[in-house]
Structure 1
Amino acid sequence: MDMILVTGATGTIGSDVVRQLAARGEKVRALTREPARARVPSGVETAPGHHRDRASVEAAMAGAEAAFLVGVFGPDDAEHDRGLVEAARAAGVRRIVKLSSIGTGDPELGVFATWHMPGEQAARDSGLQWTVLRPSSFASNTLTWAAAVREGTPAPNMMGDGRQGVVDPRDVAEIAVAALLDPGHAGRTYTLTGPETLSAREQAAVLGEVLGRPVPLHDFSPAERREQFLAAGLGETYADSLMAAARFIEDGGNDVVTEDVRQVLGRRARTYREWAEDHKGAFGEV
């Protein structure tokens, strides 16, 4: 049985990729900073390291046939993202699936659109079987509202009234698994969305219906947003990139729905309501 390496193995998508592969009986190695604390399915091998530590990545790649690559967490990760592809090629990995982002390469999105470009280009130039996944906004992003919802206070809305093709992370992970196992997805770039576009307020309305109580939002002004980003320690460059992304969304730049989920999985994409129903416990509803 061929080994599949999953980087970002404790993250939103990576953790689900690990679970889905393990459920299929695949041989999985999870790259994580703290293997002793990683909660992975029985039988999954763990390897210490992270995307910025090239030596640990190279060690984890040894003997792998395929790799799921998660290498961008901010504006300073482009070279590390490229490094994941280089390490995979050097280790003899044959198939790679890179997690990217919707809007990559769109000049209207500004600097944020460039974060994944070096990694995407490295994948295409690698000579390996590659697939690029460009998901839209994750349904799970609204977990940042959970504390406020439980407390009955307005939840933070950092992205204004723009609509997005909110996608269930489980669909993204399922497509990653398909691409890791099936060479028929090689050379493809998939833009992954849910079946409809929703604004933050529309998501809050759906969540409120699921929970049986209102989910009010506090809309941050641009100045408040930047202050919050900086207070979170993101730095000027990161904060400015997120500000540009918020403007792009508000201007309708991410009001996009594709059929790529249906094309790959043979079914419609999950709705935000389905995600909310399955995760309502996180908001204080059992």
Structure 2
Amino acid sequence: MDRMILVTGATGTTGSEVVRQLTARGEKVRALTRDPQRARMPAGVEVAGGDYADPDSLAAAMTGVTAAYLVCPPGPGAAHDTALVAAARAAGVRRLVKLSAIGSDDPATGPTVAWHGAGERAVRDSGAEWTVLRPSSFATNTLAWAAAVRRGEPVPNMTADGASGVIDPRDIAEVAVRALLDAGHAGRTYTLTGPAAISVPDQVAVLAAVLGRPLTVRNLSQDETRGFLRTAYGIDESGMEDVLTGIAYVRDGRNATVTEDAPRVLGRPARTFQEWAEDHKEAFLTG
């Protein structure tokens, strides 16, 4: 039987990279997206339209699929994960890889992260081979600073000196690809981090060195943090308190976890934040 891999969230940060890496390996890929007309995919990728709230679209997307990468926005009851798992089970999908989040098993992270736990349980109970990925903070989150950096303004800091094991999403995607293709990762939960715990001021110092000019940091008040979340990330008031709980978790130093899971899977060190910054410095340069 030919292998067909479904990638959900295929236009997102990790999903697009999973698609790219799979196609580079010559794998058959089906990309699930809500708006196929706007999706820009590598040559040979089959694009499927679908929505978590439309079971028929998910059933069609899962037809003939042997493995699936599941990316779902967290939400009460893990409805999105449940819908995807139900469609996968009905279609006989043999292998599922779920993107979760670090701390999904710690209630102190707040509901936004903890909701992933229900999705993890759905995947584990699916009857398929499963792998759960719990990445730490994405290096790409710092792109939210780009406008301020280009204008020469201080970088907004919501987490004071709290450090996280910031990880390059390319490494998350590469772990996902290994898990999608190789049976040796079945039944494993990987906590994925970069090689060091790094705070926002530390990241800004690295970025300043990469750009070759000084950068400053400004710690945001609670009200300023709310405003930044609204404008930079589109967080509305209904989800604001949950996100603030997660920010406090980092600010209090509780997210400084560093693991060897990524290096063990990849057979090489995880990329540093400096490597990511070198590869993406154009985003922070003035025109």
Q: TM-score range by the shorter chain?
A: over 0.9
Matched residue, 1:162: 162
Matched residue, 1:25: 26
CA separation of 1:176/1:233 partners in 2, compared to 1, >3 Å: closer, same or farther?
Answer: closer
Matched residue, 1:133: 133
Show the 5 A alignment for 1:207-286.
207-230=207-230, 234-284=235-285
Q: Percent identity?
A: 60
- Supply the AA of the counterpart residue of 1:150: R
Structure 2 contact 77–118 (Cα < 8 Å) conserved:
no
Structure 2 contact 100–120 (Cα < 8 Å) conserved:
yes
Show the 5 A alignment for 1:145-184.
145-184=145-184
- Supply the AA of the counterpart residue of 1:280: K
Matched residue, 1:51: 52
Of 219-228 and 38-47, more deviation after overlay is shown by 219-228
Deviations 1:208-247 (A, max 9, x none): 1000012222321122223443566533341111110111
2:80 is paired with a residue of what secondary structure?
Answer: helix
Superposition RMSD in Å: 1.7
In 1, Cα distance between the equivalents of 2:216 and 2:275?
Answer: 20
TM-score, normalised relative to structure 2: 0.94
Deviations 1:151-186 (A, max 9, x none): 211222223321000000000000000000001100
Structure 1 position 116, deviation (Å) = 0.3
The total of aligned residue pairs comes to 285
Structure 1 position 50, deviation (Å) = 3.0
1:5 is paired with a residue of what secondary structure?
Answer: strand
TM-score, normalised relative to structure 1: 0.95
In 2, Cα distance between the equivalents of 1:75 and 1:6?
Answer: 20
CA separation of 1:3/1:272 partners in 2, compared to 1, >3 Å: closer, same or farther?
Answer: same
- Supply the AA of the counterpart residue of 2:27: E
1:118 is paired with a residue of what secondary structure?
Answer: helix
In 2, Cα distance between the equivalents of 1:149 and 1:226?
Answer: 20
- Supply the AA of the counterpart residue of 1:86: A
Show the 5 A alignment for 1:107-146.
107-146=107-146
Structure 1 contact 110–241 (Cα < 8 Å) conserved:
yes
In 1, Cα distance between the equivalents of 2:280 and 2:51?
Answer: 28
1:190 is paired with a residue of what secondary structure?
Answer: strand
Structure 2 contact 103–114 (Cα < 8 Å) conserved:
no
Unaligned runs of 5+ in 1: none
1:116 is paired with a residue of what secondary structure?
Answer: helix
2:5 is paired with a residue of what secondary structure?
Answer: strand
Structure 1 contact 13–169 (Cα < 8 Å) conserved:
yes
